[in-house]
A and B are shown apart, each in its own frame.
Chain A
Amino acid sequence: MILFEGKILPDEQLDDVLEKLWDSCLMAVTNRKDIAKLVINACGRVSEKIKTGAYDPILWVLLEKGAFTRTQLEEAITFFDKENLQLKYDTELGVLKKGTEDDRKASVEKRLEPLGILFHIAAGNAEGLPFFSVIEGLLAGNVNILKLPSVDDGISVMLLHEMIKEEPALAPYVCVLDVASTNVKILKTLADMADAIVVWGGDEAVMAARTMASPSTQIISWGHKLSFAYVSAGVVEKVEDYEPELYDLAKHICATNQLLCSSCQGIFVDTEDETVLLSVAERFLHILEEVRVDYPREKIGIRGKVSISLYNEELESIHTGHRVLRGKGVSVIIGSDSELELSYMFKNCWVKPLQRKNIIKSLKGKKGYLQTVGLICTEKERKELAELFVKTGLTHIVRPKNMSQMLPGGTHDGKYPLRRYSRIIEVER
């Protein structure tokens, strides 16, 4: 599916669109205006319509397919409410946009401007992420070219199309193309048009974007991150009192399937006692098993993959000393090292020891990959532990139930995207 100049076109017209795209982008840049208000209003109206069920006939297919639930959709769409987008805009750009009294008097005018043309390469792990990425580009005033992920369900195109219908003036600022990831030639052409490539994904995705980009094209990456939970020494003494937090964590693991950057991959426990580690692991396994029942079962391919990995982990345990605790559709692997690593995902996590005194030493090496910690600690420990985790480079220190919660006006991995999509120019008066 293609979205070009506000119209949905079939993929067969790709060559045609590519031919016109550069001129169309140049035209949009030439006629560029401050569109933030238009974007906020249009998104607000789309969001309202979703809530009142106006798009249900279209969304029904996706809901039926189980791509997401009604609640998830409603939660996500609140993000695009007029108030929330305005808050996001004000938080990220407001101060810079206004400037100070001194700035206004100076002989050189300082002003916030968009980067120009953004080429978004979005990942397919979260529904609607491509839409989200483009909206951020638009809020900063950019012209946006979006390459859809291969697994896209069409919701991003649909939402962008509806937004443009609400505000046709935005049409020149958005172009969505369904180009295969293997079509390097076209991707390079698109990359050459852009002032910056916005890439969502892991190290390999970012490297791929780098090989595509000429040295003069900026790469703005939203890379692969790792998140985990931490059980403090105070909690270890009385784990049974903290079961609600463990249930929250299990729900978070089941709801995100550990696929998001903010998803918990495993639990670090402040202990060096193996029996403590085992008892936390066993307790959590039962909770996870109990919670899992409320979530859909994985497809056979995923189950097969996890199954082989766990079996292999059992064989490897001769060397690693790891212990695999299996439950129905879930597992917990007890490790003896304190290495932060990716789990097998899909409701399979690890439990490892990490004493408070080793937190910085152990996590510092993971720079660039750290994102969220779900803290399970006594209220007395919270402040100090949080400060310690801040120093490792983590950007979100929250309670387990909020690990994947996104707040309006919040950051991506500790950064404000709208600022990354803008530049400050100086014009002599």
Chain B
Amino acid sequence: MKSLFWYKRPYDIEKTETQFMKEMRENMHFQFENCKEYRALLEHRGWYEERIDKLESVAEIPFIPTLFFKHHRMDSVPREKMLTTATSSGTSGAKSVIGYDVLSLLKGLGMVLRVGKEHKLWSLRPCHYIILGYEARNILGRKNAVEEKAVAKTAYGFTFFAPALSRTYALRYIDGDYRLNLEEIREKLITFSRGNTPVRIIGFTFHAYWLLSKMKEAGIKCPLPKGSLMSFGGGWKQYYTQRAEKQEMYDLVEDVLNIPESMCREFFGAVEHPILYCDCPKHHFHVPIYSRVLIRDVDTYEPLEHGKAGLVNLLTPMVKSAPILSIMTDDLGILHDGSECGCGIDTPYLEILGRVGMEDITTCAAGAENLMRTMLGEETL
């Protein structure tokens, strides 16, 4: 097999298992040899390079928490070879910066082609794009380019699934700053609803939710032409409370935009784990062949069986330029048996339960502190 990332069937884990392990080992060797800091971290945890060849399960690979990347930029190729960098949209100030080299990006392209095909995202029919997110500034910025949020790039990337007639951004880059442009979005939606060209809307879940509820409140309805698509991703933040609200979102989309639930796609991914997770018709995130998910016990870090809640450890051999082969998110999640879904994809699917710590912690500061965050958030919007 040439590479995992150009394999035809993105959910055929069985046939690609050996290749996945091979690429993981290769990646780990590469990180060990090319990223001093990663090597130091692993040696500190009792690892040495010879152990990599004896690796029997990916669970043995020490994970690095995303929290660590927020304070340390780790590169495994010289910075001049990085084609682009991605920055997480960190809410607490610290952000992860991950650099990508051309090879990693090519792998990503292979993945996007296959996953897009599987989830019927490709279309030759031209459409209008509405991006409820940041306007992309420089897509393949080199050395001196300003680093920008990964979501901007991801959203821009999606606008190639079907030929673009126009792109309208909710957050536009004007005079060195992002400004909210909802008025224009609303007008465009009204205009597009009168035409025949399909519209594809892409954006942060909570931006989409916010805009649509405002439109509903104001009694605005924009039934979009047949073939229109709503896609969203990027977490629910404070709005995140399970399926009930997801259903509310689908109802809202149908109600305001007349896009049926079957034309809604949700995406999941992270700067530290740039694998394209797209939901199945039953809205589950099945694990594609490029990735593995381990749910680890919150106290012992031991991998748990399917159906149990724990810390979400994501693994992939995709990226060479940074040691992100095994990262620990700060989410709690459950991995379910693929057979429980019934959509036809049989790989296990990941359910994110929410951020660790958030709901339960009430410190001296907590109650009123949320106020600030949301206030500032609203004002930036």
Contacts and interface: CB of A to CB of B under 8 A. Distances in A.
A315 B45 CA distance: 8
10 contacts: A122-B367, A125-B365, A150-B367, A181-B367, A182-B371, A211-B375, A298-B360, A302-B357, A305-B330, A311-B328
Contacts of A308: 65, 67, 311, 328, 330, 356
Interface stretch (A30-38, A73-81, A194-202): A194-202
Contact of A307 (B44, B311, B361, B363): B311
A316 B68 contact: yes
Contacts of B372: 204-205, 207-208
B310 to A, nearest CB: 7
Contacts of B299: 303, 307, 329
Which 5 A-B pairs have CB atoms at the shortest separation, nearest pair first? A202-B365, A205-B368, A305-B357, A149-B367, A201-B368
Given A181-B374, A315-B41, A304 B367 contact: no
Interface string B47-80: 0000000000000000011011001000000000
B160 interface: no
Interface string A228-265: 00000000000000000000000000000001110000
Given A181-B368, A318-B44, A299 B360 contact: yes
Interface string B343-355: 0000000000011
Interface residues of B, number: 42
Contact of B44 (A225, A299, A315): A315
A182 to B, nearest CB: 4
B359 interface: yes
A201 B364 contact: yes
B298 interface: yes
B367 A123 contact: yes
B359 A301 contact: yes
B74 to A, nearest CB: 11
Interface of B is mostly: mixed
Given A200-B368, A318-B41, A300 B332 contact: yes
Nearest to A225: B364
A63 to B, nearest CB: 18
Interface of B: 40-41, 44-45, 64-65, 67-68, 71, 238, 298-299, 301, 309-311, 328, 330, 332, 354-375, 378
Contacts of A181: 367-368, 370-371, 374-375
Interface in A46-78: none
Contacts of A121: 367-368, 371
Nearest to A182: B374
B330 A204 contact: no
Given A208-B371, A308-B356, A201 B365 contact: yes
Contacts of A356: none
A112 to B, nearest CB: 29
A110 B372 CA distance: 39
A225 B68 CA distance: 27
Contacts of B362: 123-125, 149, 151, 259
A312 interface: yes
Contacts of A201: 364-369
A304 B310 contact: yes
B380 to A, nearest CB: 13
B226 to A, nearest CB: 36
B313 to A, nearest CB: 11
B363 A345 contact: yes
A323 interface: no
B360 A301 contact: yes
B364 A261 contact: yes
Given A301-B356, A308-B328, A259 B368 contact: no
